[in-house]
Structure 1
Amino acid sequence: MASITTQGQAIHKSPVHPQSSIYQLADSANIKARFETVLNKNAGAYLGSVLNVVKNNKALADCEPMSIMGSALIGATLNLPIDPNLGFAAIIPYKDKGIAKAQFQIMTKGLIQLAQRSGQYKNIGVNAVYEDELKSYNPIFDKIEVEVVVDGYRSQGRDDKIVGYLAYLELLNGFEKILYKSIAEIDAHGKKFSKTFDFKGSPWQANREAMRRKTVLKELISKWGVMSIDYQMQPMQTALKSDQAIMDGIDDASPHYVDNPNYEDTIPAPPQEQSDEAKLLDDSWESPI
């Protein structure tokens, strides 16, 4: 029997069979110790929230338990709640070569939260741009003129008149950057890099608006956000690397990206924001595999 050390105490652990139920895993000494290393006294409550998420989603309950725990550990490492209703991160059911597994996804609010914690951002966000608000846009010089119209489409709730999304960031050192993407550009990205784009129940179908928001914000952060070896920025880098990843275990150092196998060469695709974000874990999920 192996042992590990957490909080100064040696804890003996028994090997966990990969096919153990999610409840057996959550109650195992190995899993508890691993989460305690990350969350200390909050580990029990976090594992409880994971079980609650699984209990309320049949498709997720059918996934391999170790992949669920691997995704949950990413959320724990980032210190983000895994309940999709809160809009920070989620565990998504997926099919990996015909096998149901869990995939970690960071959400828009999660990205903003990590940016805030880094202490490097003065302002960051993403917003929809309506047809009557977009005056001009020059993609070469990143120049855009947007003007909110009184009693316009925005105030009327005419989401069918949204023409694009604008993400923006401002660092404490004065650096500013904006990124505007039209609806056509965002959806083309989704179709190219998410093989589930057209499948019923997929995030792109169940929650298109939130996916569009996150796609633009994530691309902006990935290209122009603060990236360094400083410990303050490590959570953001972990989130960008782990988004849409499937972890086959809690010690798996090699995540794979079934939805976007070309992840390292692209800006990975996305999640969302509640109340919309709850739709991510739709029981009508149908995998393309």
Structure 2
Amino acid sequence: MNKINVLAIKEGELIKYDPLAEEIEVNLIEDDETREETETIGYYAMFEYQNGFRKTMYWSKKKMLAHANKYSQAFNAESYKNIQDGKVSQNDLWKYSSFWYKDFDGMSYKTMLRQLISKWGIMSIEMQEAYTKDMATIKENGDYEYIENDQTLYEESIQVESNINEEQKVTTEKETTKKAEKVKKEETVKEEVEEETPNIQPVAEPEQKQEEPPIESNETNNTDDDFFGD
């Protein structure tokens, strides 16, 4: 991933957002302190891959409030407005323990990135696992329990876990196929070598005939001289 960003858009900053071209035009407040104190009116998120693929998204704060109110059982939009307006006493704030109350912008950033990446992004296994575990506590049996009890997070996590299992399954199948092809290739090469090698039988050496030793004769060779004597 070449670039990724998420940003709260403050009142007076947004000039135009074109959802068709996915282009935003803003005039950001330069002073950080002034910008921090200015009311948020929306949220912008984008990512861009090194191959040039780019995706952006903009939600108004009204849309984000509706999303949190619908999917988080621990959040209520009307109660949030009362807290912002100072209508809830400090002694009663403990009742509103959801992170949506404590850090609405922070939760909105997470939601924007989830919506953007889960729909259009390509995540590695490591990123998918981090995405699944975010905002969750792990039970003794290994299941994830989401602090916000947000049905959207749960459904997205199930989809991500399914993607992880499917990706692992595909990887295992590819490795198995690779090994099988390698073994088959080795066997084929071995068979070809055996076919090309001539079957030469060793030539037996001729048996050497042993010469029989000369037979010594006991007969005396008497010559004529011996016969007649002196």
Report the TM-score, using the length of structure 1 for normalisation: 0.42
Tell me if structure 1 keeps the 8 A contact 2:11–2:38. Answer: no
RMSD: 2.7
What secondary structure, in the 3-state scheme, does the structure 2 residue paired with 1:132 have?
A: coil
CA distance in 2, matches of 1:129, 1:262: 24
What secondary structure, in the 3-state scheme, does the structure 2 residue paired with 1:181 have?
A: strand
Change (3 A) 1:166 1:210: same
Give the drift of 1:158.
Answer: 5.2
Q: Which runs of 5+ in 1 are unaligned?
A: 1-120, 228-232, 269-289
**Cross-structure match for 2:131:** 240
Deviations 1:101-127 (A, max 9, x none): xxxxxxxxxxxxxxxxxxxx1111211
CA distance in 2, matches of 1:261, 1:186: 15
Give the drift of 1:261.
Answer: 3.7
**Cross-structure match for 2:52:** 174
**Cross-structure match for 1:147:** 27
Identity of aligned residues (%): 33
What secondary structure, in the 3-state scheme, does the structure 2 residue paired with 1:127 have?
A: strand
What secondary structure, in the 3-state scheme, does the structure 2 residue paired with 1:201 have?
A: coil
**Cross-structure match for 2:13:** 133
What secondary structure, in the 3-state scheme, does the structure 2 residue paired with 1:129 have?
A: strand
Give the drift of 1:162.
Answer: 1.9
CA distance in 1, matches of 2:144, 2:52: 35
What secondary structure, in the 3-state scheme, does the structure 1 residue paired with 2:115 have?
A: helix
Q: Which runs of 5+ in 2 are unaligned?
A: 77-94, 159-230
**Cross-structure match for 2:39:** 161
- Paired residue type of 2:144: P
Give the drift of 1:141.
Answer: 3.8
**Cross-structure match for 1:224:** 120
Deviations 1:64-93 (A, max 9, x none): xxxxxxxxxxxxxxxxxxxxxxxxxxxxxx
Matched pairs, number: 139
Structure number with the higher strand fraction is 1
Query: Which gives a bigger RCO, structure 1 or 2 (Cα 8 Å, sep 6+)?
Result: 1
Deviations 1:211-261 (A, max 9, x none): 11221122112122213xxxxx11111122233444321x52x43557024
**Cross-structure match for 2:69:** 191
Tell me if structure 1 keeps the 8 A contact 2:75–2:101. Answer: yes
**Cross-structure match for 2:216:** none
Change (3 A) 1:144 1:267: farther
- Paired residue type of 2:108: R
**Cross-structure match for 1:38:** none
CA distance in 2, matches of 1:144, 1:244: 30
Change (3 A) 1:155 1:267: farther
Give the drift of 1:150.
Answer: 5.2
| Residue 255, structure 1, aligned to residue 177, structure 2 | no
Change (3 A) 1:261 1:158: closer
CA distance in 1, matches of 2:109, 2:152: 21
CA distance in 2, matches of 1:267, 1:185: 22
**Cross-structure match for 1:204:** 100
Larger Rg: 2
Deviations 1:30-88 (A, max 9, x none): xxxxxxxxxxxxxxxxxxxxxxxxxxxxxxxxxxxxxxxxxxxxxxxxxxxxxxxxxxx
What secondary structure, in the 3-state scheme, does the structure 2 residue paired with 1:157 have?
A: helix
